[in-house]
Structure 1
């Protein structure tokens, strides 16, 4: 089965974009794993599928699959690439579009120089919404991982995040710790483990180990979660630049039940066809 694709990335977080509107295909988990394989396939952090909307007030639906074949609920960098992709493929001429992602709706707005602003919706903090095995909501939670006693922030941006503040994200022990946190048993659906280094009130550095993928060069929802956590702890202002390995993202949150807005770059790497 030949499948047309476009390879894209947002700040180094890379995706294979597949339009299932103009080509009728059905991908199995093993197909996703083959596509994502960096030696035997195309290679990517996640595979994104463009589908017709299921709701009348949405323009598209998009589904997110991790490199291991599991389905994810949210991806901020992927959402930006999605907006550019559907315009690039002339599936829409809209400057602002509403898309279904998981159980939520997202508003995507094209900006100058192929940047896209994503309305990520409000963060959710209740343990049952993350999900996290805790009885009561708190700003921070105790967690034992890789033999260390930690204090983490935890919240959902449509997918679960655990955030740990560190002195420096270049610490060599973070890879071991990231793997232990992202698969911790207290998170029944796993989590995206973020390590937050605060430069000043408007600038931070971040590393993220994503569930089903591993460390990525950028994680949009992880950047949002880290900034929200930092604001709630009183460390950050409402507008913050997040520096990741692959580039920078601008995050804006006014607190309370307001949406988190993320703006960042998109890029098209190449296009082709793969036979599955």
Structure 2
């Protein structure tokens, strides 16, 4: 039996640790040990779950952590990966299957419940409902980052986001300004940052800096936040292809503002912890 399962979605990777199959105490230190790419397994975050044995038709609870050990309220990619994990390891227990063979289940995080549809298990294609965003204002507000004055749009979609519309975006810009905005005094709890360029009414390009993981090749929650912000500003229609450094995802905006994310992810590996690494995790759990 494996100790962990690793998934990735466009370069955004998570480790699934199943507490029903392995004893593991999630502390900031144990999560950092797992996610360290030099001395651990390596990942952008950790998914802990299911927290109880899945029961037919009932929500399945999980906990999400960033690579820096901090808790994450909601992750669009993480939820999609976890749905695939449940489908593989728990079969039909938590899911309902319709006449087309599509499997649906409800995943529960500290941010609430999210319906998740496995559209194609073989391809890893999953759709997740992310809820309705709450905007801090109707229009962008001014924010100073370093020597630059920026117009930003703040919103909450299970976790906090700050979208920065610009004429052009780049990884260098995200790495330069991302940390300045993510931990700006305006955001005492931190915020996830999306640098947004609108390509046309059906496509946007973003670069992402996450408060708990830094520069990220792809982020489902960030894709949703950026698409929601662009739609709020009247720059895009209800279906948006979101380009990121790692690839593309699709975001839909409903009539009431509800957001859904569709994309693919894949299992990368399963593995066992060595006795020495297991001992380090035990030390981290008791520190």
So what's the TM-score if we normalise by structure 2?
Answer: 0.87
Is 1:271 matched up with 2:266? no
Equivalent position SS for 2:41: coil
Structure 1 position 24, deviation (Å): 3.4
Structure 2: runs of 5+ lacking an equivalent = 96-102, 282-287
**In the aligned structure 1, how far is the partner of 2:70 from the partner of 2:245?**
24
Within-5 A mapping of 1:221-260: 221-256=221-256, 258-260=257-259
Matches within 5 A, 1:1-276: 4-52=3-51, 58-90=58-90, 92=92, 94=95, 95-112=103-120, 113-125=123-135, 127=136, 137-170=137-170, 172-256=172-256, 258-274=257-273, 275=278, 276=281
What is the CA distance between 1:3 and its match in structure 2?
Answer: 7.3
Q: Distance in 2 between matches of 1:24 and 1:41?
A: 18
- Unmatched runs of 5 consecutive residues or more in structure 1: 128-136
RMSD: 2.0
SS at match of 1:69: coil
Q: What are the superposed Cα offsets for residues 50-100 of structure 1, whole Å, 9 maximum, x if unpaired? A: 133699974311111111111010100111001001112235452111111
Deviation at 1:5, TM superposition (A): 0.2
Aligned-pair distance for 1:235?
0.5
Which range moved further: 84-93 or 103-112?
Answer: 84-93
Q: Secondary structure at the match of 2:272?
A: strand
What CA distance in whole angstroms lies between the structure 2 residues aligned with 1:243 and 1:8? 20
SS of 2:17 mapped into structure 1: strand
SS at match of 2:231: helix
Could you tell me how far apart the structure 2 residues matched to 1:19 and 1:10 are?
19
Paired with 2:221 and 2:162, the residues of 1 have a C-alpha distance of 11
Q: Which moved more, 1:97-106 or 1:86-95?
A: 86-95
Deviates more, 1:171-180 or 1:96-105: 171-180
TM-score normalised by L of structure 1: 0.90
The residue matched to 1:158 in structure 2 has which SS?
coil
Q: Offset of 1:12 from its aligned partner? A: 1.3
Q: Is the 8 A contact 1:119 1:260 kept in 2?
A: yes
**Residues 239 and 104 (structure 1), Cα distance of their counterparts in 2 relative to 1, 3 Å cut:** same
Counterpart position of 1:130: none
* SS of residue paired to 1:249: strand
What is the SS of the residue equivalent to 2:179?
helix
For residues 205 and 24 of structure 2, the distance between their equivalents in structure 1, rounded to whole angstroms, comes to 40
